[in-house]
Chains A and B, each alone.
Chain A
């Protein structure tokens, strides 16, 4: 019997990751994802571990290649949405993305901004980014859309004097600050080691 849970984490990537790992510790393994739906089946407690990674900057081709690469490594991979948008044929312009990924549509990368990566627990932690430099790159690419969202809605709120748009802007502030803190921590470490 599968169990269904409804959650929405948006840009709170580590919160989503922690929740999935808590579920796995309880003996629940992810088998499918929807916009808000997470479907689990029973497994032995602690059998699997999870990582959630932001890949919204990638083009469709690069995202597919990365996914194949991870699957070749023996991981199980799910795409996950970062927004909550049910419209069909959505087209968004993402100036912060990599070449080839700047126009995001429902048939390319929209609603596939995150990857959930699953690995069977073999005693080693599941780490996708291990060098300081690569971690730095990862947080920098993630910071870009958050900064963009914060400034875009913030400017809109100030110019139009609509206070509730300010809330939209503030939503981006949480992941933005956590990226910033992480980057500062890495920069300090990178002064002596690589």
Chain B
């Protein structure tokens, strides 16, 4: 996953997955969360989600939950992941401020 760590920008999909995992979710629930929150604009393919979850786990931004006998694997965001998500929020806020200055605020 290309997450532009130096530039600080995450891809939209990465950011949404991190947000969805502030509470524990399994793959299908993540997909539903993203579709609902974006009103169906962003619909994530299962293959893309599978790859993204593996990459995020390798980077240590998310971790699998204690499964406690559940069949579907659930994930949760880590402290490191939260830090990345907060940085992204600040970056986007700054971007919106600049955009509003130039284009004008949303009425």
Contact = CB atoms under 8 A, between A and B. Distances in A.
B46 A137 contact: no
Contacts of A131: 11, 13, 48
Contacts of A66: 50
Given A72-B26, A72-B28, A128 B47 contact: yes
A66 B46 CA distance: 9
Contacts of B47: 53, 128-129, 134, 138
Contacts of A127: 43, 45
Contacts of B1: 133
Contacts of A124: 43
A111 to B, nearest CB: 21
Nearest to A127: B45
Interface in B68-103: 71-72
B27 interface: yes
A194 B11 contact: yes
A73 B43 contact: no
Contact of A130 (B26, B43, B72): B43
A138 B71 CA distance: 28
Given A72-B27, A74-B28, A137-B51, A130 B2 contact: no
Nearest to B48: A134
Contact of B45 (A72, A129, A194): A129
A130 B12 contact: no
Given A133-B1, A134-B51, A73 B46 contact: yes
Contacts of B27: 69, 72-73
Interface in B1-29: 1-2, 11-13, 26-28
Nearest to B45: A130
B44 A73 contact: no
Contact of B48 (A72, A74, A130): A130
A127 B44 CA distance: 8
A69 B46 contact: yes
Interface of A: 53, 66, 69-70, 72-75, 124, 127-131, 133-134, 137-138, 194
19 contacts: A69-B27, A69-B46, A72-B28, A72-B72, A75-B46, A127-B43, A128-B47, A129-B47, A130-B43, A130-B48, A131-B11, A131-B48, A133-B2, A134-B51, A134-B52, A137-B51, A138-B47, A194-B11, A194-B12
Interface of B: 1-2, 11-13, 26-28, 31, 43-48, 50-52, 71-72
